[in-house]
Amino acid sequence: MSALQADLNAFGRAIVHNDEPSFAITGNYQSYSSLVAMEIYRNNYRGNLHDVLAGAYPVIKQLVGDDFFRFMTRKYIERHPSHSGNLHHYGADLAQFLTTFEPANSLVYIADVAELEWACHTAYFADDGATLDIGRLALIPPDQYENLILHLHPSCFVVRSQYPIATIWQSHQPGACSNFHIELDSGASIALVNRLADVVQVTEVAADVADWLDFLQAGEPMGSATEATLANYPDFDLFCALQRLVTQQLLTKIELREKK
């Protein structure tokens, strides 16, 4: 290892793991000591990552309160260092972390809400899909519809929960009515996330449509995606599902799969 690498690694450990700085730093400055300097770097480190998480998880922060959020993220930061110079990548594992974070056990839905917020965060930065050219559909003979590949917008995500996470999310948005009441045993809900005119929206979606969207996102042509959905949900309404794709601008491209 080069001298430079050794110095920077030691500096990094001193910040992240609170190690004693083993590299040669000047001990005293104009009006403070190296101990103060190291504490500033350690605080910056934790503070910056806390702020990143607060930016990505505003609903979680409201649900648990600022102090608990700081405590909770501090534990997360200790276990999950950042791996990217792009801080919008930081925090992807928070939902997973919360499933085993005992102090938050009483908030049974918190990990699912975190998963939904991460989907929203990702949707906000997701690239634009192609602009749908619906005229292309008229050029395709109807007997070929089963071979259509429907490309969904890159900001489209489906998040499933045993709890009403879409309602919880919506009631914690700016301007939402504050005296809400959520029936936790109101049953499972499935949230559909997408970005429309630069705004991330969360709507609810039925289980059959959610499964169908999953099949489409996995690259299944419309015919087999619909068949597989109908196998579990005989009442699945393909026309309604297609309408939703168009009205919510979830559809970016229609392609005819090449015959093998």
Partner 1 sequence: MGSPAKQTLPCTAGIGLRAPHYREVLQNLPQLGWVEVHSENFFGGGAPLHTLLKVREHYPVSLHGVGMGLASATALDEEHLNALKLLCARVEPAALSEHLCWNHTSGMVIPDLLPFPYTTEALDNVVRRVAHVQEKLGRQLLVENLSSYLSFQNSEMTEGEFLAELARRSGCGILFDVENLYVNVRNLGVNAADFIKAIPAESVKEYHLAGFSERDGCLVDTHNQPVYDEVWKLYETVLHHLGPRPTLIEWDSDIPQLPVLLAEVEKAQHYLEVCDVCITG
Instruction: Decide: is 2 part of the binding site for partner 1 (CB under 8 A).
Output: yes
Which pairing describes strands 199-204 and 189-196: parallel, antiparallel, or unpaired? antiparallel
Instruction: Decide: is 49 part of the binding site for partner 1 (CB under 8 A).
Output: yes
Residue/partner pairs of 6-14 with CB below 8 Å, 24 or more apart = 14/38, 14/41, 14/42
**Rounded distance, CA 68 to CA 235, Å?**
45
Q: Which of 15, 206, 207, 256 binds partner 1 (CB under 8 A)?
A: 15
**Given the rule CB under 8 A, which of 60-68, 164-172, 178-186, 194-202 is the region that contacts partner 1?**
194-202
**Rounded distance, CA 91 to CA 189, Å?**
24
Please give the backbone phi and psi of residue 169, each rounded to the nearest 5 degrees, phi first: -60, -50
Cβ of 77: how many Cβ atoms within 10 Å?
Answer: 21
Nearest distance in Å: CB 10, partner 1: 9
Q: Residue 20 has which token pair?
A: 């004693």
Q: Which of 67, 86, 102, 234 binds partner 1 (CB under 8 A)?
A: 86
**Rounded distance, CA 59 to CA 248, Å?**
23
Give whichever of 2 and 106 is closer to partner 1, judged by the CB atom. 2
Q: Which of 18, 23, 133, 224 binds partner 1 (CB under 8 A)?
A: 23
Instruction: Decide: is 201 part of the binding site for partner 1 (CB under 8 A).
Output: no
Name which of residues 120 to 159 contact partner 1 (CB under 8 A). Answer: 123-128, 155
Contact 124, 153 (CB under 8 A): no
Q: Which of 18, 22, 39, 65 binds partner 1 (CB under 8 A)?
A: 39
Q: Can you give the binding site for partner 1, defined by CB under 8 A?
A: 2-5, 7-9, 11-12, 15-16, 23-26, 29-32, 34, 36-41, 44-45, 48-49, 52, 81-88, 90, 123-128, 155, 195, 198-200
